[in-house]
Amino acid sequence: QVQLVESGGGLVQPGGSLRLSCAAAASGSIFSIYTMGWYRQAPGKQRELVAAITSAGTTNYADSVKGRFTLSRDYTKNTMYLQMNSLKPEDTAVYYCNANRLRSGVRYDSWGQGTQVTVSS
């Protein structure tokens, strides 16, 4: 597990952009072994995966954000970023940073505190 601190949420108009950051309290070598990603949850709805990046650098995106969001990680800063462009009102949610790894076939998750993203005119 790793401690995660999120930032970058806020209010933006449709079509605008935001960049979310997730800083991990870990060394680069430890940070690199985790699959990391962003989940989001709107009121009354299930938490859903937005994007994830593996330790090998492979990225996965939800169909709803593909082409608009870009996930990256900076190993020198132990930080993951989610660049969100062309934002839509349906992107409004609390966004949570996630880090996880498998140990003996069991998945262990760490979560950030969440950051609110609101897309509205």
The answer to whether residue 28 scores a pLDDT higher than 70 is no
Q: Computed from CA positions of residues 101, 97, 39, 44, in that sequence, does the dihedral angle turn out positive or negative?
A: positive
pLDDT given for residue 98 in this prediction: 96
Cα separation, 104 vs 7, in Å, equals 32
How many CA atoms does the CB half-sphere of 52 hold within 13 Å? 15
Residue 96, pLDDT above cutoff 80 = yes
pLDDT digits (tens, 9 = 90+) for 29-75: 777 788 999 999 999 999 999 999 988 889 999 999 999 999 998 88
Tell the residue number behind the tokens 């709803």, with chain if given: 64
Q: What is the pLDDT of residues 102-120, one digit of tens each?
A: 889 999 999 999 999 999 9
Retrieve residue 15's tokens: 């079509």
Q: Is the CA virtual torsion 54, 59, 64, 70 positive or negative? A: positive
Average pLDDT over every residue of 87-94:
98
Residue 25 confidence class, pLDDT cut points 50, 70, 90: confident
By the 8 A CB rule, do 15 and 119 touch?
Answer: no
β-pairing verdict for 10-12 and 115-119: parallel
What is the pLDDT averaged over residues 1-10? Answer: 92
Q: How many CB atoms lie within 10 A of CB 7?
A: 14
pLDDT at 26 over 80: no
